[in-house]
Amino acid sequence: MEINNANTNDINILVNLRIEYLLSDYKVIEDDKLNIIRHNLPTYFIEHLNKDLFAYICRKNDEIIGCIFLYVSYKPSNPSFINGRTGTVMNAYVKEGYRKQGIGKKLVESIINKGKELDLDYIDLQATEDGYNLYKKTGFVETSSKYRYMKYTFKK
């Protein structure tokens, strides 16, 4: 098993892994939305990979079996993020048949190491039930805030 930082030669792999992840998470995605996502992803990866998005791919015997993304945000400093650099875990995914073998842990450790290298203040994530224990074991803790999570969605 080998884990590597993805580069522009891996864009097709990243697109496919992102689609696999989304389908495993959402179960069903309308064809028109899936086509838009598939169309937009290569441009996104070209513009962001190894700039503010770091992707790690796990290979086993020349088969791609998992990945994880670390999105880095640069913000004005405040007491919660003194350096103004934070990370968010995205697309943590290991293919069925390879889960519960330590691959997810190695992928998470890869982004933690990258976060240290980038001097991030913290890395956050939204854990699924399946991923919760893995993240706890690798040092992530549940947080609470005096602020309430909200968002505004633009109608398409």
What pTM did the predictor assign?
Answer: 0.93
* Domains by residue range for the chain, with CATH: 2-131 (3.40.630.30)
Those residues whose C-beta lies under 8 Å from the C-beta of residue 121, and which sit 6 or more positions away, are 80, 81, 82, 83, 84, 85, 86
123-136 pLDDT, tens digit per residue, is: 999 998 889 999 99
Q: What is the pLDDT of residue 62?
A: 86
107-126 pLDDT, tens digit per residue, is: 999 999 999 999 999 999 99
In three state form, how does the secondary structure of 58-116 look?
EEECCEEEEEEEEEEEECCCECCECCCEEEEEEEEEECCCCCCCCHHHHHHHHHHHHHH
- Residue 76 CA to residue 4 CA, distance in Å, equals 31
Neighbours of 140 (CB within 10 A): 19
Mean pLDDT of 67-73: 98
Instruction: Name the DSSP class of 9.
Output: G
- Judge whether residue 9 has pLDDT over 90: yes
90-103 pLDDT, tens digit per residue, is: 999 999 999 999 99
